């Protein structure tokens, strides 16, 4: 069907990969813990939007060009790392300058901004593009009449299951941390932890091979 082989194995493997606590899940958890369920859900949707972009890039061949060019890979990776570090430092600054940080006053960042940040963070991670190029073609038949269409369908299936997992992570993280966020002092520490997490993820991305 559509040149796709072992679809059940693909779905199962995709779910298992999405359950692994990688940068995307850590990003969503950080938003949910520090700013609540809505922020976490919006972050999950932003990450999924970035994955849609990577699927489109892979379908039209842009990801292959990035993979073939060491300079393009380096600069995109560096841009993604700098962006994450910048966001992390902004959160650290906010936690240090706010006199009181409660559940009501914590989400200074609008939901639209959070969505945009999550999308950009995912798009500027070239490793996501390389993952799509390495993983999805394994489930495309060699004699598929339209490999681009097969790639796009597999990408959307992976994104659908991944979005469900991300939403579960966002909601569960928010529920677990809700009472803790009601404490203003602890809320400041949550924001600092989140800022530190973003900064570390940015450094890890910028200096990774």
In a domain, 199, yes or no: yes
Q: Which residues are CB-contacts of 29 (< 8 A; sequence separation ≥ 6)? A: 40, 169, 170, 173
Which domain, by its residues, includes 75?
24-207
Q: Domain total for the chain?
A: 1
- Number of other residues whose CB lies within 10 A of the CB of residue 119: 20
In a domain, 82, yes or no: yes
Nearest CA among 77, 61, 43, 206 for reference residue 148: 61
In a domain, 19, yes or no: no
Per-residue model confidence as pLDDT tens digits over 153-180: 999 999 999 999 999 999 998 887 776 6
Per-residue model confidence as pLDDT tens digits over 136-147: 888 888 888 888
Q: Report pLDDT for 138.
A: 82
Burial class (CB in 10 A: 0-12, 13-18, 19+), 11: middle
In a domain, 14, yes or no: no
Q: What is the DSSP string of the chain?
A: -TTB--HHHHHHHHHHHHHS--HHHHHHHHHHHHH-HHHHHHHHHHHHHHHHHHHHHHHHTHHHHHHH-HHHHHHHHHHHHHHHHHHHHHHHHHHHH-S---TTTS--S-HHHHHHHHHHHHHT-HHHHHHHHHHGGGGB-TT-S-HHHHHHHHHHHHHHHHHHHHHHHHHHHHHHHHHHHTSHHHHHHHHHHHHHHHHHHHHHHHH--
Q: Is the pTM of this model over 0.85?
A: no
**Residue given tokens 């966001």 in the structure block:** 87
In a domain, 40, yes or no: yes
Give the highest mean pLDDT range of 18-22, 101-105, 131-135.
Answer: 131-135
Tokens for 47, please give them. Answer: 């990450």
In a domain, 8, yes or no: no
In a domain, 125, yes or no: yes
In a domain, 157, yes or no: yes
Per-residue model confidence as pLDDT tens digits over 69-95: 777 667 777 776 787 787 778 767 766
């Amino acid at each position: 069907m559509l040149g796709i082989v072992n679809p059940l194995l693909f779905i199962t493997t995709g779910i298992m990969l999405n359950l692994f606590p990688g940068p995307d899940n850590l990003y969503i958890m950080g938003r949910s813990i520090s700013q609540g369920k809505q922020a976490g859900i919006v972050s999950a949707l932003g990450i999924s939007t970035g994955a849609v972009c990577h699927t489109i890039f892979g379908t039209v061949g842009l990801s292959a060009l990035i993979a073939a060019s060491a300079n393009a890979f380096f600069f995109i990776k560096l841009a993604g790392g700098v962006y994450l570090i910048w966001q992390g430092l902004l959160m650290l600054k906010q936690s240090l300058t706010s006199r009181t940080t409660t559940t009501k006053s914590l989400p200074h960042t609008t939901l639209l901004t959070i969505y945009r940040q999550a999308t950009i963070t995912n798009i500027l991670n070239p490793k996501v593009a390389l993952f799509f190029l390495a993983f999805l073609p394994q489930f495309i038949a060699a004699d598929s009449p339209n490999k681009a269409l097969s790639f796009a369908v597999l990408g959307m299936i992976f994104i659908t299951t991944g979005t469900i997992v991300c939403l579960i992570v966002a909601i569960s993280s928010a529920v677990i941390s809700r009472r803790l966020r009601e404490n203003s002092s602890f809320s400041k520490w949550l924001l600092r932890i989140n800022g530190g997490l973003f900064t570390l993820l940015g450094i890890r991305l910028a200096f990774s091979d």
